[in-house]
Every structure is written in structure tokens, then in C-alpha cells.
Amino acid sequence: MIFKERDIRGVFEIILAPRNDNRGFFMRTFDETAFKENGLDRNWVQENHSRSENKNIIRGLHFQLPPFSETKMVRCINGSVLDVFVDLREGSKTFGAWDSIELSAENKKMIYIPRGFAHGFCTLTETSEVVYKVDNFYSIENERGLLWNDKTIGINWPIDTPILSPKDEKNMTLEQFKTEYKYISNK
């Protein structure tokens, strides 16, 4: 595994290293020692699997309020997605900034997103499956979302008219988030 910190502090791209032979491949997707050596020591408490049946679906941008905020480690095991994350952390120099990475079954990359981020993805293939670990339990009462096309954030999505859930159509803008919550505490 190769760990590369992204432009937004605390976010890491993780490049997996499969061992290929005539049968296929074997690869390690988690190694507690390697993660600790890179300062990414988390207690993963839940793993989720999302399957999307169409291209151009956007799921997100989701986050949970403290004390249920969560670190995520995301990878795509079938198809391809554009994974997007927005910094909402208290005191962050990059508050409100976004970044993205293509995750696919082919490129075998993962993204580690610390607590205090909104997260979502856009499906780039007809079928895609995303698996992600989290270090906190889901709380429906503390789940919130940012609007995918908020002009203040300015995410460069690959689609102008995505397929959205009714819930994601009603997510808040960054300005609404700042008015209501200000930031997500790192504590």
C-alpha cells in the first residue's frame, strides 16, 4: 500500500498493490500496522456497501454531526465513481474547499477521509459498487447533507442533471450549514 496525502490536510489517497498471477490477484485492503505508521489509527466499527444501477447518480454530499461524525475509508469494487469530499472542519485553513478522486475496480485506489467532511460520489458507469468503512455508528438524527450543486462550493461534477434521491434534492447549501452549525468540531 502507498499512502499519499492529498491537497486537503488529513485526506489520504491509498494505492493498493495487487499481486497478479494467472489465477487473478490478491491484495491487502487494510493493514493495521501500515495505517498506524501513516498516522491513520482508527477503530473501524461499521462497513457499508452501496450499489448503484445507473450511470450519473450522485449520492451525497452526506455528513454526520458530532458526536456521530465519522472518518470514512472508501473504495469502489465494481465500476467507477468520482468520489468528492468537502472540508467542514473547525479551524481548517481549507474550510469549504473540495477535492475529488476517481475510484474504480480497475485503478484499485481508496480514499481516507477524516471526520469533519461532507462526502458523496457520482457514478461513472452503469453499475458501480462502493464499500466503505466508518469509525462511528450511523445516527439518522445527526445525518445532514450539502447540496450537490451549491455554487459557493463549486464542485466540478461530470454531469449537469444527475439522478438524485428525494432527500439529496433538499440538502442545504454551505451558507445554510455555516448559519446553522458553523463547522464540525474536531473534538
Backbone Cα Rg of the chain: 16
Question: In this structure, which topology does domain 42-180 adopt according to CATH?
Answer: Jelly Rolls (2.60.120)
CA 110 to chain centre: 9
Percentage of the chain lying above the pLDDT 70 cut: 99
pTM: 0.95
> Residues with catalytic annotation?
62, 132
Contact partners, residue 158, CB within 8 Å, separation at least 6 = 82, 122, 124
pLDDT digits (tens, 9 = 90+) for 108-134: 999 999 999 999 999 999 999 999 999
Ranges under pLDDT 50 in the chain: none
